[in-house]
Amino acid sequence: MSPIHPETELHNPQSAKIPLDPHLKALENEAIHIFREVAAEFDNPVMLYSIGKDSSVLLHLARKAFYPGRVPFPLLHVNTGWKFPEMIGFRDALMKEYDLDLIEHINLRGAAETITPFSHGSALYTDIMKTEALRQALDAGGYDAAFGGARRDEEASRAKERIYSFRTPDHKWDPRNQRPELWNVYNGMIRKGESVRAFPLSNWTEVDIWRYIQAEDIPLVPLYYAKPRKFVDRDGMLVWAEDPRFEPLPGEQVQEGMLRFRTLGCWPLTGGIRSHATTLDEVIAELEIATVSERQGRAIDRDQSGSMEKKNAKDISDDRFRSRRRARHHFRPAASRACSCRARHASAPPDHLR
Amino acid sequence: MRDTRPLRLITCGSVDDGKSTLIGRLLWDTKAVKEDQAATLHRDSGKQNDLGLPDFALLLDGLQAEREQGITIDVAYRYFATDKRSFIVADTPGHEQYTRNMATGASTADLAILLVDARVGMLEQTRRHATIASLMGIKQFVLAVNKIDLTGYDRARFDQISHEFRELALSLGVRQITAIPVSALKGENVVYDGRASMPWYEGPTLVEVLELATVRSAQTVGFRLPVQRVSRPGESFRGYQGTVAGGSVKPGDSVIILPSGMVANVTKIVTFDLVRNAAVAGDAITLVLDRQVDVSRGDMIVSIDSQPQTGLAFDAQLVALQSDGIQPGKRYWLKSGSRRQRVTIEPASQLDLKSGKWNPAQSLPMNAIGKVHLSFDEQAIFDSYEQNRTTGAFILIDPDTNNTVAGGMITGRRSSLSGIHTEDSRVILSLPADLADQILASELFASRREEIELRRVNAGRAAEIFDGIDG
Ligand SMILES: Nc1nc2c(ncn2[C@@H]2O[C@H](COP(=O)(O)OP(=O)(O)O)[C@@H](O)[C@H]2O)c(=O)[nH]1
Ligand SMILES: [Mg+2]
């Protein structure tokens, strides 16, 4: 894996805090309400943290919800070993700065079987290294509630997902049989082994996310800003080409140009966009005229519509590779330098993945 | 850009009236549909209509089962914005067996769009939906007379349907009604006006009505803070966290904690950003009080001079959401705000949606709307739904399945159990407010809070009352 960025900047370039307008204030109030309700009703919540912009907003709202107290639950990052190094550097700096508890999980079985986005294709890779990994991590922690940053405007089948989204003991979501959700009265009653995914950002749109980041000056991974980056054009998807593990396909030319990312994930599956937006204002200006939805950059979604639903159904049925082996790293980056170094080390992929 | 809160709205109508098409059209014409989604739409549209336009309903009907059956089976939430404001739309199913989904969508809506097929006119379903929407507290209706293109833009037809609808809405007590002739498919009078085909219509487009609609706010004047959690990060700090459900609060205000009846003063309103000098309905805050009082999750902190009702028995209307319906005498969980408690339900009557009449009933089947009596083991705290859509609303949870089985709206407290019985001997006092507060704050008072009726009045009014009693 390429070297960790030594100093991660936790402030956005040229950003000034502006007061929240009533629209964003209403969304913020709703999210804080959900955070508090889940924290009060469940025994063992966790927050899924993917380091991206939605997670950054989610984390900011969690800090607001429990202020002046600490965030009363840990964050869970499902790593794959294929995240952009800038993401990991940012994550570790942030955990330290904000005194948060992070749990990192990698599906070691998948890694041991050398499941990579290149060798197994995006669908199977995602299945094992993300979906199965998440299930392993949730089982290991015995969480009865998990906060997620999903938004209903992301995708058609998400539009129907509840704010408290019920999961069976094997993490199944049954879209046909959801509990009704009226007013802001949430039903958090579950049996042992069952759980709830809670989505405080359900009613946010992509534009809301960006405008809130701007208004609150929420730190973001620098990958969201354009800078000269090396990449190849793979069927219209601009794939980042700076990782030592990157191999061009026959006929592919590595180019260099101003590139940024609209969503973050595993670099082999996350297409960049050509852009000159180097500040938040410029990113937002670009977005407000953008005619392409944010999911377009993702390889996993392009095959067919109804994709989230299928993805979900699949992760339920597909237990060909189910295994009890788990990796679980606890750390409190605030504790010591040595500690967060260990954490960084833990997030690197096993040797044979290099 | 967005100088108001988002407007929440719901679309209702019978199957095939064009609800999904209408919302799809709203998204399309406000540019909420991105290029790649549009490409997917064109590709999925397979069999297109005669006009060669894409099937906008596909933007809405996300679940595969729905696509296969060609109907909407659950509430889908959609988002769009104009320069003036943003909107959250609940697209709900038209089939009768999904009345519960409609009630779900209506619970948070400020406005209802009722669709009618211009060729067919009003149906029983239209009455049903209008009734549910008004019961759930929606005060603004838009009638969209859709598929007007298929009537040759027949003005007389439009006038006739809107007249009928107006009568229905007025009979339900809804006075803000706008009727619009619409072609959802062609996009006429949705975002763009339809003057070219309907020069006779001079009213607003749908979006213009939505932009000017009012967002509901909590109607109670009294301050309400249902306590979600107690924050105790250290010895020196103790704050009560929750979302203001009515009225406003500022440091120095006297408040009373229900159900205990303890009195305290507000010292600080804490938020992440700054210590605030006031908070209003909708704000998520942390409240600090001037004295050690026993407050826990589920309690409500309220203004001293305008309190909600507390008691062991209330009347309510509810919508039965699950196949088991609502059984008389069964003990359910009731959740309202952050408070969850045991309740027994006694159904009294059921609404006949055809006639609008309430018929006596002993139990309520799925999709029924009923009037019920609620009996609690412990003090319950409510406003009427009419006065406050947050502190007057509740859900029922079946303890056997943990499922949400009803949504309910408080109509009032049943006075027979408010602590006053005819055989009791009572004393009416008139005290200076500060002395009353001291007494209210005493242990003895708090321990018998539910036996006490309290009204705050000014000295003049007190004199009048005493005159009335003596004279
Ligand atoms: N000609 C015409 N057809 C329409 C109009 N609105 C909807 N439709 C058609 O009516 C059918 C049912 O529409 P849909 O939106 O699925 O109805 P829903 O069941 O209420 O959601 C579809 O074939 C639409 O294309 C309209 O304004 N004019
Ligand atoms: Mg439909």
Ligand closest to Cα of B181 equals: 1
Could you tell me where the beta strands, DSSP code E, fall in A94-216?
102-106, 145-147, 164-167, 195-198
DSSP string computed for B436-452: HHHHHTSHHHHHTGGG-
Most confident of A104-118, A164-178, B96-110: A164-178
Q: Does residue A101 sit at the B interface (CB-CB below 8 Å)? A: no
Q: Does residue A286 sit at the B interface (CB-CB below 8 Å)? A: no
Q: Cα A58 vs. chain centroid, distance in angstroms? A: 10
In this model, does residue B67 exceed pLDDT 70?
no
Q: Select from A32, A180, A205 the Cβ nearest to the Cβ of B284.
A: A32
What integer is the mean pLDDT of B385-407?
Answer: 95
CB contacts, 8 Å: A37 with chain B: 228, 338
Distance from CA of B19 to the nearest CA of A (A): 16
CB contacts, 8 Å: A158 with chain B: 62
Residue with tokens 């299928």: A310
| Average pLDDT along chain B | 86
Side chain identity at B100, as an amino acid letter?
R
User: CA dihedral defined by A37, A41, A46, A50, rounded to 10 degrees?
Assistant: -30
Best interface-test mutation with B: which of A185, A211, A293 has the largest number of B CBs within 10 A?
A: A185
**Spatial CB neighbours of A228, under 8 Å, sequence gap ≥ 6:** A256, A257, A258, A259
Side chain identity at B432, as an amino acid letter?
P
Q: Cα B367 vs. chain centroid, distance in angstroms? A: 18
CA–CA gap between residue A57 and residue A210 (Å, rounded): 9
Q: How confident is the model at residue A351 (pLDDT cuts 50, 70, 90)?
A: very low
Q: How confident is the model at residue A232 (pLDDT cuts 50, 70, 90)?
A: very high
Q: Residue B60: its pLDDT value, please?
A: 59
Residues with CB under 6 A from ligand 1: B 13, 15-21, 49, 57, 72, 94, 146-147, 149-150, 183-185
Percent of residues, chain B, with pLDDT higher than 90: 57
Strands A75-79, A237-240: pairing is unpaired
Using one digit for the tens of pLDDT, what is the confidence trace for A242-276?
A: 999 999 999 999 999 999 998 898 998 899 999 99
What residue owns the CA closest to ligand 1's atom 14? B18
In this model, does residue A72 exceed pLDDT 90?
yes
In this model, does residue B230 exceed pLDDT 90?
yes
Cα B432 to middle of ligand 2, angstroms: 61
Strands B86-91, B76-81: pairing is antiparallel
CA–CA gap between residue A143 and residue A194 (Å, rounded): 9
What integer is the mean pLDDT of B73-79?
Answer: 79
| Contact at CB, A153 and B78, closer than 8 angstroms | yes
CA–CA gap between residue B375 and residue A137 (Å, rounded): 43
Q: Residue A206: its pLDDT value, please?
A: 86
Choose which residue among B16, B29, B55, B153 to substitute to test ligand 1 binding: the one with the highest number of ligand atoms within 8 A of its C-beta.
B16
Q: How confident is the model at residue B19 (pLDDT cuts 50, 70, 90)?
A: confident
Domains of chain A are 22-205 (3.40.50.620), 225-347 (no CATH)
Minimum Cα–Cα distance from A38: chain B residue: B228
B115-119, B208-212, B410-414: least confidently modelled range: B410-414
Buried b (16+ CB within 10 A) or exposed e, B206-236: bbbbbbebeebebbbebbbbbbbbebeeeee
Could you give the C-alpha distances from A286 to A230, A273, A275, B140, in angstroms and in order?
Answer: 21, 11, 8, 37
Q: Residue B12: its pLDDT value, please?
A: 87
Choose which residue among B114, B185, B197, B198 to substitute to test ligand 1 binding: the one with the highest number of ligand atoms within 8 A of its C-beta.
B185
Q: Residue A18: its pLDDT value, please?
A: 62
Q: Select from A29, A63, A159 the Cβ nearest to the Cβ of B283.
A: A29
Q: Does residue A37 sit at the B interface (CB-CB below 8 Å)? A: yes
| Contact at CB, B63 and A309, closer than 8 angstroms | yes
Q: Residue A319: its pLDDT value, please?
A: 27
Could you give the C-alpha distances from B261 to A174, B300, B322, B440, in angstroms and in order?
Answer: 44, 10, 37, 7
Closest to A299 (Cα-Cα) out of A228, A231, A236, A244: A236
Q: How confident is the model at residue B134 (pLDDT cuts 50, 70, 90)?
A: very high
Cα B407 to middle of ligand 2, angstroms: 24
| Contact at CB, A175 and B44, closer than 8 angstroms | no
Q: ipTM of this predicted complex?
A: 0.83
Q: Select from A23, A36, A189 the Cβ nearest to the Cβ of B241.
A: A36
Paired with B309 in beta bridges are B382
Strands B111-117, B7-12: pairing is parallel
What integer is the mean pLDDT of B94-118?
Answer: 85
Cα–Cα–Cα angle for A319, A323, A325, nearest 5°? 155
More confident of the two residues A274 and B45: A274
Paired with A236 in beta bridges are none
Could you tell me where the beta strands, DSSP code E, fall in B104-259?
111-117, 140-146, 176-181, 224-226, 229-234, 237-243, 248-249, 254-258
In this model, does residue A287 exceed pLDDT 60?
yes
Helix (H, G, I), strand (E, B) or coil at A341: helix
CA–CA gap between residue B149 and residue B18 (Å, rounded): 13
What integer is the mean pLDDT of B23-43?
Answer: 74
What sign has the CA pseudo-torsion B47, B126, B10, B181? Answer: positive
Closest to A6 (Cα-Cα) out of A340, A230, A267, A346: A340
Percent of residues, chain B, with pLDDT higher than 70: 85
Q: Does residue B233 sit at the A interface (CB-CB below 8 Å)? A: yes
In this model, does residue B455 exceed pLDDT 90?
no
Domains of chain B are 7-212 (3.40.50.300), 224-303 (2.40.30.10), 309-413 (2.40.30.10), 433-470 (no CATH)
Q: Cα A244 vs. chain centroid, distance in angstroms? A: 23
Paired with B24 in beta bridges are none
Could you give the C-alpha distances from A280 to A33, A51, A90, A153, B66, in angstroms and in order?
Answer: 28, 17, 17, 22, 39
CA–CA gap between residue B471 and residue B458 (Å, rounded): 20
Side chain identity at A93, as an amino acid letter?
A
Could you give the C-alpha distances from B133 to A155, B111, B138, B351, B372, in angstroms and in order?
Answer: 28, 9, 6, 14, 19
More confident of the two residues B39 and B340: B340
Helix (H, G, I), strand (E, B) or coil at B461: helix
What integer is the mean pLDDT of A95-116?
Answer: 87
A220-229, B40-49, B231-240, B259-268: least confidently modelled range: B40-49
In this model, does residue B431 exceed pLDDT 60?
yes
Q: Does residue A19 sit at the B interface (CB-CB below 8 Å)? A: no
What integer is the mean pLDDT of B158-185?
Answer: 94
Paired with A74 in beta bridges are none
| Contact at CB, B335 and A185, closer than 8 angstroms | yes
Q: Cα B334 vs. chain centroid, distance in angstroms? A: 17
In this model, does residue A336 exceed pLDDT 90?
no
Percent of residues, chain A, with pLDDT higher than 70: 75
Closest to A326 (Cα-Cα) out of A140, A52, A98: A140
More confident of the two residues A287 and B105: B105
| Average pLDDT along chain A | 79
Cα B49 to middle of ligand 1, angstroms: 10
Using one digit for the tens of pLDDT, what is the confidence trace for B363-395?
A: 999 989 999 999 999 999 999 999 999 999 999
In this model, does residue A303 exceed pLDDT 50?
no
In this model, does residue B229 exceed pLDDT 60?
yes
Q: Residue B74: its pLDDT value, please?
A: 72
Q: Phi/psi at B357 (nearest 5 deg)?
A: -95, 150
Q: Residue B46: its pLDDT value, please?
A: 56
Within 106-135 of B, beta carbons closer than 8 Å to A belong to 107-108
Locate the ligand 1 atom nearest the alpha carbon of residue B184 and give its number: 27
| Contact at CB, B239 and A64, closer than 8 angstroms | no
Helix (H, G, I), strand (E, B) or coil at B132: helix
In this model, does residue B358 exceed pLDDT 70?
yes
The neighbour count for residue A333, using CB atoms within 10 Å, is: 24
CB contacts, 8 Å: B78 with chain A: 152-153, 159
Cα B20 to middle of ligand 2, angstroms: 4
Using one digit for the tens of pLDDT, what is the confidence trace for B231-286?
A: 999 888 999 999 999 999 999 999 999 999 999 999 999 988 877 889 999 999 99
